Every structure is written in structure tokens, then in C-alpha cells.
Structure 1
Amino acid sequence: MIMEHNVPLQPYNSFGIVARAQHLVRIAQEADVAALLADASLAGADKFVLGGGSNIVLTGDVKPLVLKVEIQGRRLVEETDRAWIVEAGAGENWHETVQWTVENGFPGLENLALIPGTVGGSPVQNIGAYGVELQDRFDSLDAIDLETGRPFTLDAAQCAFGYRDSVFKHAASGGNDFGLAGRALITRVRFRLPKPWKAVAGYFDLERKMEETGNFTPDAHEMFDWVCAIRRAKLPDWRVLGNAGSFFKNPTVTPEQCADIIARDPKIVHYPMADGSIKLAAGWLIDACGWKGKSVGNAGVYERQALVLVNRGGREDPVTGGEVMTLAKAIQTSVYERFGIRLEPEPVVV
């Protein structure tokens, strides 16, 4: 177990916000958690689990003990006639893990390529893109209870996946609630990649790629390359222009609510869902309110995708968490006043 003090967190959050951790422990293996909890001076401290820092907004220095998850390792656990079961350490880079699966003949995650962050963060957020969500490819995960020190394993049902949601984003509030926010440290994640493989190419951008190339039966490598190209064309590289990816969740409404909005704004982008609800494109709503390219201090709305808030100050004069949240709240107010829709942020505000 390696413990550091007064640690700059700017390199560890994709927005590039300047903040410090009073104390930071690097978790490179499960034994480091056991050592931490065996230390009487640390076991009872408030804790904040940090993975890739791609889904957080830091509004100041972090007082809780920061646990920087750096557990590595990738392997094929099992192969059956129906699926490959692949495991990765929670500290592994997500995109590099997707690339590794495709290159090693275990397709199924290619639609989730180029999403920033770590493997351990993927089930917390139930990440998704281009018609695939993590829950569609999830098998199980291992974690450690930070209160008791006990290891445990969860399957998909126990993770309570929802749209950009899971049990890890909710705190237990008494009774039988099984919230694990702030209580669990994910150590390893396993993915069930189905056989036979079939391309998921129903999204407009992927359909356009098929039309452009004349390739209507892409393999997993081609799907991976297409997704990377689409994301690079639309979204900023956080290493060049700090950001936390999509800042707001796409809201869902009833068909009646959608019809009412269409009557006023016929061009609104919307998608029918399997449960009968309608998903609205949050980026379209924000753009319609005139926010694309606008800024508040060093926090700005990306010119190519209104769903992404960016660090216009760069690394030398970086955006503050306060500027990001001021801009986010102004956007929420505009969208609510025009459409009656409350946008919900995706990142965790610390």
C-alpha cells in the first residue's frame, strides 16, 4: 500500500480541474485494501474511490481519503459455445481493454470504443454508446466492502443497472436498500461476449458509415474503427481539450409529452424506447437553446457537440469546478424554461 499526501489531482481528472487530495492511497492489488482497513487510523476515514477521473467535476480540494484504483490484468476466464468470458482489472484503461478484446478475437465491446475512463468505472455508470450498454455485455464483478473489508461478487441483477445508473451510484438509506455508493471498491470486472458475434449497427452514424463504404456486413475490427472515427469527429480528446464526455443524460418522456414538444418544435431529435417511453437528445435541446459554443468563464459548450462541456482555459489557466457547475445550471434553466424538461448531469460532483 502506497500512501501520498497533498497530491495534485489535475492529472487524474479528464476536465483538468486543479484540486488536491489531502491524502491518497494507490490500490494496485486487493491486499492494499486489506492493509488500508487494517490501519486503525485509516479504516474509519471517509473515502473517495477514484478511477480514471473521466466522470467527475471537482469543486475544491478532496478531504476524504482518495483511493486511486490501479489494479491491472486482462485474461480470458472461460470460453463456451455461447460466449467468451473476459476479465479485466478495475484500473485498466477502458478503451485499451476494448481494443485488446477485439484484437484477441473476443468481439462484443467494439461499440463502446474510445469512451474515457477505467474498467472499474464502466459498471458504475453503465456506460453506453451506439446501441450497446455495458449491461448488455456484463457478466459479474468483484468488489470489496470498505466498511467490513469483505470481498463480494455481484451479477447483473444485483448491480441494478439503469440508464447511466447502477447500485454504485446510490447510498443505502435504511431498510432493505442495497445502495453501495461510497461503500464498495470494484476490483475486477468480467464481460460476457456472446457467440455468434453480430454487429450492432442500427445507429444513424453507423448506418451512414455502411452507406459510405458500401460495407453492410462489417466485422468487429471494422466496427471498432468506425466507432473510433465517429467519436473523434464529434467529440474532443480530453487530453487536448479537457472534458467529462457527455455532461447530461438524455431525458425520457411519455409519448404525450413528446407529441406536445413536437407540436412546438417539429425537428426535435427523439427515439422510441422498448418500454413505450421516448428518449430525447439532450444535445439537441441544449443546441436549440443557443448554447453551442458559448462559455461561462473558462467553461464552455463544445462547438461540435452541445452535450459536451469543455475546459477552455487549458492546463495553464484551467476551468474551475464552480465555472463548470455555473454553466451547467444555466443550461438546465434554459432547457427547462423552453421545453419543461429537467436535464440531469452525468458526472459526479465532488
Structure 2
Amino acid sequence: MFVEQNVPLQPLNSFGIAARAATLVRVRNENDVKAVLADASLAGQPKFVLGGGSNIVLTGDVKSLVLKAEVLGRRVVRETERHVIVEAGAGENWHDFVTWTLDHNLPGLENLALIPGTVGASPVQNIGAYGVELQDRFDSLDGIDLATGELFSLNAAQCGFGYRDSVFKHPPAIPSQSGYAPPSMGLGGRTLILRVRFALPKAWKPVLGYLDIERRMQEEGVLNPSARQIYDWIVAIRRAKLPDPAVIGNAGSFFKNPTVTPEQCQDIIGRDPKVVHYPMADGSIKLAAGWLIDACGWKGKQVGNAAVYEKQALVLVNRGGLENPATGGEVMTLAKAIQTSVYERFGIRLEPEPVVV
């Protein structure tokens, strides 16, 4: 275990917000966590798990003990009749892992290419893009309890996946004064994910249907694209639409796409016929949050050094760079103004995706 003090977090968050961690421990395996829990000066401190830093907004210095997840490794675990099970350490870069699977002729994750962050963060957020969510390819994960040091494994049902949601985003139940607490599977703030396993289908079929992908198919005259072609297309599409965090600090999509009833959607269409919407399997309608924000005139607008990206209104960016970066306060002031504007026009409350620290 290697303990660092007063650590700059600006290089460790994709928004490039300047902040510091009072204490940081780099976790390369479960023994590092157990060493933390065995250390009298560290064990009782509140703990914050940091992965790739691509889905957080830092609003100040972090007083909690920061556990930087850096568990590495990629391997094929086993095969079943229908799937190949592959595993990656929580500290592996997500996009690099997706590329590795395709390099080993293991398709299934190509629609999730170029999503920023680490493998360990992927089940927390139940990441998704272009018709595929992590839960569609998830097998199981290994984690460690930050209170007891116990190792455990969870399957998909135990992870409680929802739209950009999981048990890792909800705190455990707090006992009431009567000593009774309602059942809770919340693991937020109590778990560090060590490794994640994915079930990649042997009978692979492309997941298509999104307009951007259909355009690529028409432009290139490809009716039955391979996994590698889909991967290449999605990488190109995302690079054209989204800023590179290495160039312009950002946390990717800042708001979740809201879902509404068909009746609510028809009401919005009656007022705004061009609203971008997608029918869901459960009968609800998903609206494009970026379109709603753009319709309210926010694209390119700025609060301090936090701004709405001019090419994609769903992304908030750091216009100050590393020398004069946006503050977490500026980012959240801008986000709240956008939420108010969208609610006043459409009656819809946008929910942020990043974790605010």
C-alpha cells in the first residue's frame, strides 16, 4: 500500500477541475484495501472511490480518503454454450478493453466504443450507447466491502441495473431510531469494484437502428457490417460530436435522456414537432436531452469558464483549460440554469449523470 498526501486531482478528473485529495491510496489489488482497513489512521475515514475520473464534478477539495482503483488485467475466463466470458481489472481503460476484445475476435462491446472511463466504473453507471447497455453484456463482478474487507461477487440481478443506474449509486439503508430499516441493496460508498466479467455472444448479431449508424451503412453501401466496422463508425461518430477530454475538459454526456409517457410525448410534439424521441420496449418514450437543451438556446452559452459545447448541447465543457479551469461551482451553476430552463419550457426535469463531489 502506498499512501500519498495532498494530491492534486486536476490530472485525475476529465473535466480538469482543480482540487486536491487530503490522502490518496492507489489500489492495485484487494490486499491494498485490506491494508487500509488494518491501518488505524485510515480505517475510520470516509472513503471515496476514484476510477478514471470521467464522470465526476469536483466542487472542492476531497477530505475523504480517496481510493484510486488501479487493478489491471484482461483475460478470457471460460466459455459456455452461448457465450465467451471475459474479465478485466477495474483500473483498465474501458475503450482499450473494448478494442482488446475485438482484437481477440470477441465481438459484443463495439457499440460501447470510446466511452471514457474505466472498466470498474462501467457497472456503476450501467454505461450505454447506440442501443447497447452494459447490463446486456454483463456476467458478474468481484468487489470488496470497504467496511469489513470481505470479498464478494455479484451477478446482474444483484447489481440492480437501471437506466444509468445500479446499486452502487445508492447508499445503504440507515437504521431508524426504532432499529428497523427497510430492505436496501444500496452499496454506494461501501464497495470498491475489483474486476468485471462480461458475457460476449458466440452467435453475434449487429445492434443497429440508430440514425447515425444507418447513415454510415448507406454512405459505405454496407448492409451487414462487421463488429469492427461498427466499432470504427462509432469511434468516428463520437469523435465528430464529442470533445476529447485531453483537449477540452468535460465529463461526457452531462444529463440523462429523460423518459416520458406516450401522452406526454404527444403533448410535446404538439408544441415542438421536431423533438427527437425514441420508443422504448416498456412503452415509454425516451427524449434526447441534448435536443431539449439546444431548443432552449443553451448551445455555446457560458458561466464563468464552464460552457455548453457548441457541437453537442448535452456536453458541458471547461473553457479555461488547465491554467484557468472552470470550477465545480461554475459547472453546477450552469447545469442548474439549464435544468430550470428545460423545465420551464417542457415540464421535464433533467437529471445529471456525473457524481457531484
* Shared fold, TM over 0.5: yes
CA distance in 1 between counterparts of 2:158 and 2:311 reads 38
| 1:309 and 2:322 correspond | no
| 1:25 and 2:32 correspond | no
- CA deviation digits over 1:81-139, x for unaligned, max 9? 31110000000000000000001111100100000000000000000000000000000
TM-score (normalised: structure 2)? 0.97
Residue in structure 1 matching 2:284, options 271, 277, 296: 277
Trace 1:1-350 onto structure 2 (pairs within 5 A).
1-173=1-173, 174-350=181-357
Mark the runs of 5 or more structure 2 residues left unpaired by the alignment: 174-180
CA distance in 2 between counterparts of 1:310 and 1:41 reads 38
CA distance in 2 between counterparts of 1:100 and 1:63 reads 36
CA distance in 1 between counterparts of 2:211 and 2:265 reads 20
CA distance in 1 between counterparts of 2:95 and 2:333 reads 30
CA distance in 1 between counterparts of 2:338 and 2:21 reads 30
Q: How far has the Cα of 1:67 moved from its partner?
A: 0.2
CA distance in 2 between counterparts of 1:193 and 1:42 reads 39
CA distance in 2 between counterparts of 1:64 and 1:23 reads 8
Q: How far has the Cα of 1:201 moved from its partner?
A: 1.3
SS at match of 1:163: coil
C-alpha RMSD over aligned residues: 0.6
Amino acid at match of 2:40: A
TM-score (normalised: structure 1)? 0.99
Q: How far has the Cα of 1:195 moved from its partner?
A: 1.5
- Count of matched residue positions in the alignment of Structure 1 and Structure 2: 350
- CA deviation digits over 1:194-229, x for unaligned, max 9? 121111111111111100000111111111111100
Amino acid at match of 1:331: I
Amino acid at match of 2:80: T
CA distance in 2 between counterparts of 1:271 and 1:330 reads 26
CA distance in 1 between counterparts of 2:246 and 2:101 reads 24
- CA deviation digits over 1:149-189, x for unaligned, max 9? 10000000000000000000001223211100000000000
Runs of 4 or more, structure 1, over 2 Å off, are: none
